[in-house]
Amino acid sequence: MRAGAGALPYWRRPACAPGLRFTCRDSTVIIRYRYAGRTCELRMPHGLWSRFVDDVRRGRFDLLAVADGENGWTSWSLGHGQVARGLPDEVIIRVGARQDEQRERRLPTTIWELILVAVRAHAIDNLDAPTPVRPDDHRPSGFLLLHGSALRPATRPRTDGQDRRPGD
């Protein structure tokens, strides 16, 4: 269940990737960031994003070659997505299966690295989950659940022999 065309997107702001905001709208993952005084976006179809996440967690993009011809590109999702290092300090992402429908986006290396950190930390899992009903409701990020922080604290026996209860 995704937000409809008229609904405002629910932006996720992971603490591990300051300055980035993630959302999923109309089967498209949108990453918004601010760099050099401008607000920029990277858009990727949700199906391609899912495969990208899998490959990030496998370490496929840990070392990128410089984009010098077709040999410098690292592909994912049967070539529907490609990434390479640009010069002097940028990463180039191509999205699209055919040459005539490919879109290319150049990101600063710092932004690319923050995206990888957010993916590896599971901080932006379930981007396509439904929007919270109330503004103060929060969807689980996956990070808390993965690392056990969402578990209830265990009760410890008191030194005077009585069991501890919440509120004591």
Coil, strand or helix at 74: strand
52 vs 48: CA distance, rounded Å: 6
- Which residues span the domain enclosing 55? 20-147
- Which residues are 34's β-sheet partners? 39
Contact 127, 102 (CB under 8 A): no
Nearest residue to 117 (alpha-carbon basis) of 65, 73, 53? 53
pLDDT recorded at residue 115: 96
Residue 7 is assigned to a structural domain of this protein: no
pLDDT of 167: 58
- The candidate with the shortest Cα–Cα distance to 61, out of 70, 69, 53, is 53
Does residue 157 form part of some domain? no
Assess if residue 162 is contained within a domain. Answer: no
Coil, helix or strand for 47?
Answer: helix
pLDDT at 134: 61
Segments in 42-154 forming alpha helices (H): 46-58, 109-120, 143-147
Q: How many domains does the structure of the chain reveal? A: 1
The pLDDT score that the predictor gives to residue 16 is 93
Flag whether 159 is in a domain: no
Per the domain annotation, does 167 fall within a domain? no
- The list of the chain residues with pLDDT below 50 reads 1-4, 142-151
Nearest residue to 24 via CA among 48, 52, 51, 43: 43
Please indicate, yes or no, if residue 152 is contained in any of the structural domains. no
Per-residue tokens: 163: 């069991």
Give pLDDT, residue 146. 45
Tokens (6 digits) for 86: 């640009």
Task: Record the tokens describing residue 119, joined without a space.
Answer: 């993916």
Describe the strand order of the beta sheet including 38-45 as a list of residue ranges: 20-25, 28-35, 38-45
Residue 95 lies in a domain: yes
14, part of any domain: no
Q: Dump pLDDT digits (tens) for 60-71.
A: 998 888 877 667
The 8-class DSSP code of residue 157 comes to: B
